[in-house]
Amino acid sequence: MGLISPVVFRRKLLRWSEENPRNLPWIGLKDPYPIWISEVILQQTRSAQAVPYYHRFLSEFPDLKSLANSSLDHLLIVWEGLGYYSRARNLHKAAIYIQKELNGKFPTKFEEILNLPGVGEYTASAIASFAYKDTRPVVDGNVIRVLSRICGLELNFYTTKGRKLFYDWAKRYLDAKNPDLYNQAIMNFGATQCIPQQPLCGNCPFMENCLAYAENRIKDLPVKKIRKKPLEANLHYFLVEDVHRCTLVRQRDENGIWKQLFELPGFERDESGTIQQGQMAKFLNGIGIGKNKYKLLKISNYNHQLTHRKLNLHFYWIEFNGSLGQVQTLPFQLASLKNLKKFAFPKIIRLFLDQNLNRGYDK
Ligand code: SF4
């Protein structure tokens, strides 16, 4: 079986796209601002989950100006639930940069878009293609899967040679007359028809042209990324509830994970498992809560996967029979349990709070 020609590939793909429209709010847009927002949200979030966040984001920040004028703290609260907060910080930096340096005009050239904080080659080519019909292929995981299966490409995309190979093939097949329609179509095709597990080959327009199908190699293609074993971290957090239903929170700094998000008092240690009473008493004493002044109500354990780290989290719910306002709490700040929604917490801490604090906790 020979390789499908670019002309036939485009014709079949665009016909499939017409027959299988995808109902997502950012598809077909020409305004670069919402396209940019959708692409950044989609960097780590699946389309179906992304839709409500996309609407929430745009109702809060309908244009570049409102995003640039927002405080970062407010933006992080709106972003809550999406995780990977560096994306939100970069959106903010980029919006301020466009407002100040580009007179509020979103850049129109691929190279200029690529210059924005948090925008890589994929995102820049997607925005340039959808908004301005830039004739550059958009290569994401869906496109890699489709090309590797139909054309039998056996290199790992995440190598220098593999990357070059995939971009060469993607350029060869691109429809330069309709780059926006073509790029959207091939991504949609990969997302809904040529899916990772059990692709819908039975009614696929490329069945007779697909090398992976013909050679029974669908499971082997695309060649998988070699993943390093993630590092593990053990985090211990204390939800201290005082007689006024107040607790302590603090803002993380610019370093490490969860930059500038809020967390509960706590610490990290190398050993796995929950801590002993003595270690707990020592830590609580360090934040002004003496022995015999508290009771451990509950321990909740959670696991959370970040890209390069596996987190084992242990939450200790402590009832303090005093007032936190009267003890030495620096670097923590006092917060009413009712008002915890006003702080941007990492997703996993928010999950713990939502699942455990339903007594008068204003979600
Ligand atoms: S035949 Fe199957 S593997 Fe090949 S492109 Fe179609 S859906 Fe994908």
At 193-214, the pLDDT tens digits run 999 999 999 999 999 999 999 9
- For residue 25, pLDDT beyond 60: yes
Confidence at residue 363, expressed as pLDDT on a 0 to 100 scale: 42
Whether residue 149 has its Cβ less than 6 Å from ligand 1 = yes
Tracing tokens 């020979």 back to the chain, one arrives at 2
Do the bridges between strand 246-251 and strand 333-336 make them parallel or antiparallel, or are there none, so unpaired? Answer: antiparallel
Interatomic CA distance for residues 252 and 194, integer angstroms: 42
- What is the 8-class DSSP label of residue 4? P
202, two tokens: 């039975």
- What is the 8-class DSSP label of residue 236? E
Confidence at residue 360, expressed as pLDDT on a 0 to 100 scale: 46
Please give the biggest Cα pair distance in the chain.
Answer: 79
Residue to substitute in 13, 217, 218 for testing ligand 1 pocket (most ligand atoms within 8 angstroms of CB): 218
- Mean pLDDT score, 353-359: 81
Whether residue 199 has its Cβ less than 6 Å from ligand 1 = yes
Residues marked as catalytic: 39
Residue 128 and residue 112 in contact, taking contact as beta carbons nearer than 8 Å: no
Between 12 and 358, residue with greater pLDDT: 12
Whether residue 4 has its Cβ less than 6 Å from ligand 1 = no
- For residue 175, pLDDT beyond 90: yes
Cα 226 to ligand 1 centre (Å): 24
- For residue 179, pLDDT beyond 60: yes
Cα 3 to ligand 1 centre (Å): 14
Write the residue with the smallest CA distance to atom 4 of ligand 1.
210
What is the average pLDDT value for the chain, to the nearest integer? 93
Cα 212 to ligand 1 centre (Å): 7
Cα-based distances in Å from 318 to 54, 250, 293, 294, 337? 37, 17, 10, 6, 13
Whether residue 213 has its Cβ less than 6 Å from ligand 1 = yes
95, two tokens: 């919006």
Do the bridges between strand 333-336 and strand 266-269 make them parallel or antiparallel, or are there none, so unpaired? Answer: unpaired
Q: Which atom of ligand 1 is nearest to the CA of 205?
A: 6
Write the residue with the smallest CA distance to atom 8 of ligand 1.
194
**CA 233, chain centre distance (Å):** 20
Tracing tokens 């040679």 back to the chain, one arrives at 161
Within 13 Å of residue 344, how many CA atoms lie on the same side as its CB? Answer: 23
Residue 321 and residue 299 in contact, taking contact as beta carbons nearer than 8 Å: no
Interatomic CA distance for residues 265 and 25, integer angstroms: 40
pLDDT in tens, 63-113: 999 999 999 999 999 998 898 888 999 999 999 999 999 999 999 999 999
- For residue 225, pLDDT beyond 80: no
Q: Which amino acid is at 217?
A: R
Whether residue 194 has its Cβ less than 6 Å from ligand 1 = yes
ipTM: 0.99
Q: Which amino acid is at 344?
A: A
Burial 228-255 (b: 16+ CB within 10 A, else e): eeeeebbbbbbbbbbeeebbbbbbeeee
Cα 160 to ligand 1 centre (Å): 26
Assign 272 a pLDDT band (cuts: 50, 70, 90). confident
pTM assigned to the model: 0.75
Whether residue 222 has its Cβ less than 6 Å from ligand 1 = no
Residue to substitute in 16, 149, 173, 188 for testing ligand 1 pocket (most ligand atoms within 8 angstroms of CB): 149
Interatomic CA distance for residues 117 and 136, integer angstroms: 20
